[in-house]
């Protein structure tokens, strides 16, 4: 596909959304057309599914139903927004994508890698990001930061510490398996230092000139 697909990943409270917006602004200043989007969500149907996933009791879904819902939302998002944008040659910068299902449902809930890979192939085929930035930080720090945001979308934040530790380790394992696609960034740094590393990764890996 002619466009560029960049995803931000990591546990709770790593500053993904802020860094993603800063990167999008820099790319636009460099003359690129950028679609900023998120998961779960990003299309009308997927945003409706999002509410089923991020609100309510922690045990309202079992792990399999949860993975299926994330992939139902993702397929709609890919079909309606991501693939058309990449076909046009735009940049797509997405707050979370398939690595979140692998980390949260595969590692966190213990479904394992293979069922998630199978589901991925069924739902969206071979689509993968060109670059994935994993904002990594200790679970406690991230949950404290996320907790100060408030709001209704706290279903995952309320899950047990062990779950969050497993998904953090999961993201690091994903990065170790795919070093050509993934870059791990220490998200305990000041925001400007994190953003510096984000831009360096985009410049080095995707060959676009950014300040
Ligand atoms: P957000 O808070 O980053 O918008 O993401 C919503 C929550 O959904 C977050 O706690 C991570 C979780 N999630 C999954 O468990 N699996 C997924 O595939 C995605 C995209 C998100």
CATH number at residue 100: 3.40.50.300
The finding on whether 127 has its CB within 6 A of some atom of ligand 1 is no
| DSSP secondary structure letters along the chain | --SEEEEEE-STTS-HHHHHHHHHHHHHHTT--EEEEESS-SSHHHHHHHHHHHSS-TTSS-HHHHHHHHHHHHHHHIIIIIHHHHHHT-EEEEES-HHHIIIIIIIIS---HHHHHHHHHHHHTT---SEEEEEE--HHHHHHHHHTT-SS--TTTTS-HHHHHHHHHHHHHHHHH-TTTEEEEETTS-HHHHHHHHHHHHHHHH-----
The verdict on residue 211 lying in a domain is no
The verdict on residue 210 lying in a domain is no
Structure confidence at residue 72 (pLDDT) = 98
Q: Give per-10-residue mean pLDDT for the chain (211 aa).
A: 94 97 97 98 98 97 98 98 98 98 98 98 98 98 93 95 98 98 98 98 94 79
The verdict on residue 69 lying in a domain is yes
Structure confidence at residue 80 (pLDDT) = 98
Number of domains in the chain: 1
Centre of ligand 1 from the C-alpha of residue 180, in Å:
24
The finding on whether 39 has its CB within 6 A of some atom of ligand 1 is yes
The verdict on residue 39 lying in a domain is yes
The verdict on residue 47 lying in a domain is yes
What's the pTM? Answer: 0.98
Structure confidence at residue 211 (pLDDT) = 79
Range of the domain at 173: 4-205
Structure confidence at residue 2 (pLDDT) = 85
Structure confidence at residue 209 (pLDDT) = 86
Centre of ligand 1 from the C-alpha of residue 211, in Å:
30
Structure confidence at residue 150 (pLDDT) = 86
């Amino acid at each position: 596909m002619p466009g560029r697909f960049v995803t931000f990943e990591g546990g709770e409270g790593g500053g993904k959304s802020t860094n993603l917006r800063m990167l999008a602004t820099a790319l636009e200043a460099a003359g690129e057309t950028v679609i900023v989007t998120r998961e779960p969500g990003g299309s009308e149907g997927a945003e409706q599914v999002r509410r089923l996933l991020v609100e309510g009791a922690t045990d309202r879904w079992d792990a399999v139903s949860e993975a299926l819902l994330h992939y139902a939302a993702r397929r709609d998002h890919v079909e309606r927004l991501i693939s058309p944008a990449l076909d046009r040659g735009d940049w797509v910068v997405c707050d979370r994508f398939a690595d979140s299902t692998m980390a949260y449902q595969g590692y966190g809930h213990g479904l394992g890698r293979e069922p998630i890979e199978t589901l991925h192939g069924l739902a969206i085929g071979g689509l993968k990001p060109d670059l994935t930035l994993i904002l990594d930080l200790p679970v406690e720090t991230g949950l404290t930061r996320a907790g100060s945001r408030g709001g209704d979308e706290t279903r995952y934040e309320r899950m047990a510490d062990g779950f969050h530790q497993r998904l953090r380790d999961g993201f690091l394992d994903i990065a170790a398996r795919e070093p050509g696609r993934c870059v791990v960034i220490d998200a305990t740094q000041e925001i400007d230092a994190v953003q510096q590393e984000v831009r360096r990764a985009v410049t080095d890996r995707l060959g676009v000139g950014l300040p």
